[in-house]
Structures are given as structure tokens and as C-alpha cells.
Amino acid sequence: MKNSYLIIFIATIFSITSVTSQEIDKPFLDITNFSDGPYVFISNNKLIEKKILNGVVTSKVLESTQYDTIFTPQKSIYKNVENIAALSDIHGQYDLAIEILKNNGIINSNLEWNFGKGHLVIVGDVFDRGPKINEMLWLLYKLEIQAKEKGGRLHFLLGNHEYMVLHKDLRYVHDRYKIATKLLGLEYDELYGNQTIIGRWLRSKSTIIKINNSIFVHGGVSEEFIAENGINLSNTNQIMRSSIERSKQEMKSTDFYKTYYGKKSLIWYRGYFYDNLVDADITKILTRVNSGHIVVGHCSNKEVVQLYDHKIFGVDSSIKKGTYGELLFIKNNQFYRGTLDGKLVKF
């Protein structure tokens, strides 16, 4: 009887908010089989964990020491790193991402860090489109801790979809989260607000970093961005972090929004793939950022690709489709594709 009331309750909510059954994936119509979470909120110096289990919201108070609540941003520049891997645009495809990371030796069968002193760069866009965003975020949260303990690093760079969600642009949120947010009584962006563990963790992340001789950034570095902003990685990352709490209206009142969120910005730029640039254009950009290569996501391909004689690498291998994906490996300044089945293919 209790489950019947739950189903009627949710049906009523969706009727009121004009969300029809056609907008919700069929596997989630029966909320008695719907589970999600955890979401850990910070309230009056307490940690409150909320989960949804079989359509029922549970809440419990955690030990205050169970999670850090203050996150210090990582450095923006790293040197002398022997092994680097890069993966981007996971878009909630948790199961496929796990398969890629396992088969390429980044994690083991227990989903624990297995990359030693290597650095794994997630080049943006874990959020939106797919059904397992929260699972992926918690995995990366855990792996970041484990990597550091082993002398390695996990770098989660924010892409355009991270910034979209944090700024309440929820156009691409998967349908299953419409159910989760109704049950929790919150908007989707509030699940990752500044009073949540993952929300604070996200707000500490960088947008652009340099490892050895390579820049990593979600969209790319455009000539226009350099001309308007210069290129100081630490300053740029801090500007982007601070912008998360600013409203779009405020940012659009000056040229700030165009510079940092426009088509030529670090998180939205697609010029390497679509603007018919020539080698001299790329060389000019690389000279300005004092790097030999730029690794980007954002523009989807069937596999990891190189452009402009190995100066640009695109690591958005269409994981968002849920069927295939790859990693980029950089070992001793040699570049390789790490295929879904774990084979290394040298560029």
C-alpha cells in the first residue's frame, strides 16, 4: 500500500509540473525500483547524507570527519610526469568509463587507483546527457584521494557542461534526475550547490592546466582569448572558480561573459576542428602558451585524434553515445591511443 501511494504521489507531481510519461525513460516509470545518491549536504556543521532507495528518500547524519568540507585547489602546472592519461566527455556513461579505465590499467577490478605515479586528466563534461552522473563524480572523488596517496594525481577539469549545471542551465540533464529531484524536493543544481560535499569539491577544480609540455583544457585556447585575457593559468583558474557564484546577468553586464563563456572561451572553443586554421595559427597559439601540444575535449570524434602534426589532440571519443571510447596516453613525450580493449596505438 505504501508503494502504491508513492506511485500516485509522483504521478501527481509530474502532472502538476507538466512532465509527461513520454519525457521519462520507461525503466524509471516504476519508482519503487528507482534508486539514486548519495548526496551529502553540509548543514550547521553537520553532514547529512540523502539517498533514494526503491523510491523512498532516506536521510542520516554522518560523522563530521567522514568527508572534508574544505578543498584546496590543485596546482596549475606540473613537471617531470612520466605517465599521463586523458579522458573526456564521459557525460554520465559510468559503465563505459569504468570499462575504459579498467582495460587501460588506470583502475583495478575493485575500481581503485592502479596508475601509480601517473596523472589522469578528465578533460571536462562528466555532467549531462547520461544516466549515471553522481556515480561517476563519487568515483573520481575517491580516485583523486587514492592517486595522491600513491604519488599520482587525478585532475578533473571543468568543461562547459559543468559550468552549465552550476549556473542552473539544466537543458541537458538526463530524465532520471527529474524523478530524483522531485523526490528530494530540490532543483538539480542544488544537489551540487556550495553546501554539498561534491559541490564544494567541484568549485575547487581547474579549467586549464599544463603537464610537462602539454596544455589540457576542455574547449581550447583561442587567439582571441589570449588577446583579451593573456594566459596566466593560475589566475585564469581562479577567475573561473570565482565566476561560479556570479549570476549570468552580472557577468553579461561587461565583456566578462563573452571572454570567459563565449564561443572563443576555454570551455566553448571549437576552432581547432571547425575554423580552418592553418599550422601557423596553431604554432602562434602554442608559442603564446609556451607549450608544444594542447589536449582538448568538447568536439566529438570516433576515437582519440591528432591534428596539425601532433600539436593538437582531441580526446572526446564519443563516450556519450555509450558504446565506445578511448584514452590518450602520453609516455616519455610519445602519444598513444588507448583503445576500449586496452590496446596502445602509437600516433
Per-residue pLDDT of the chain (347 residues; tens, 9 = 90+): 444 444 444 444 443 333 333 344 444 457 889 999 999 999 998 999 999 999 999 999 999 999 999 999 999 999 999 999 999 999 999 999 999 999 999 999 999 999 999 999 999 999 999 999 999 999 999 999 999 999 999 999 999 999 999 999 999 999 999 999 999 999 999 999 999 999 999 999 999 999 999 999 999 999 999 998 888 999 999 999 999 999 999 999 999 999 999 999 999 999 999 999 999 999 999 999 999 999 999 999 999 999 999 999 999 999 999 999 999 999 998 999 999 999 999 99
3-state class (DSSP) for residue 209: strand
pTM, rounded to two decimals: 0.91
The enclosing H or E element of 225 equals: helix 223-229
**Cβ within 8 Å of residue 227, ≥6 positions away:** none
**In whole angstroms, how far apart are CA 206 and each of 96, 165, 261, 289?**
25, 16, 15, 16
Q: Specify the DSSP class assigned to residue 72.
A: P
pLDDT of residue 15: 39
pLDDT of residue 231: 84
CA distance 248 to 134: 25
pLDDT of residue 282: 98
Set out the domains of the chain in order of their start, with CATH numbers.
Answer: 2-62 (no CATH), 77-346 (3.60.21.10)
CA distance 95 to 136: 9
pLDDT of residue 54: 96
- Sheet of 46-53: strand order equals 36-43, 46-53, 56-62
**Cβ within 8 Å of residue 247, ≥6 positions away:** none
**Cβ within 8 Å of residue 243, ≥6 positions away:** 251, 256, 260, 261
pLDDT of residue 29: 56
- The 3-class secondary structure across 75-114, one letter per residue, is CCEECCCCEEEEECCCCCCHHHHHHHHHHCCCECCCCCEC
pLDDT of residue 30: 76
Contact 24, 178 (CB under 8 A): yes
pLDDT of residue 228: 84
CA quadruple 91, 92, 97, 99: dihedral sign: negative
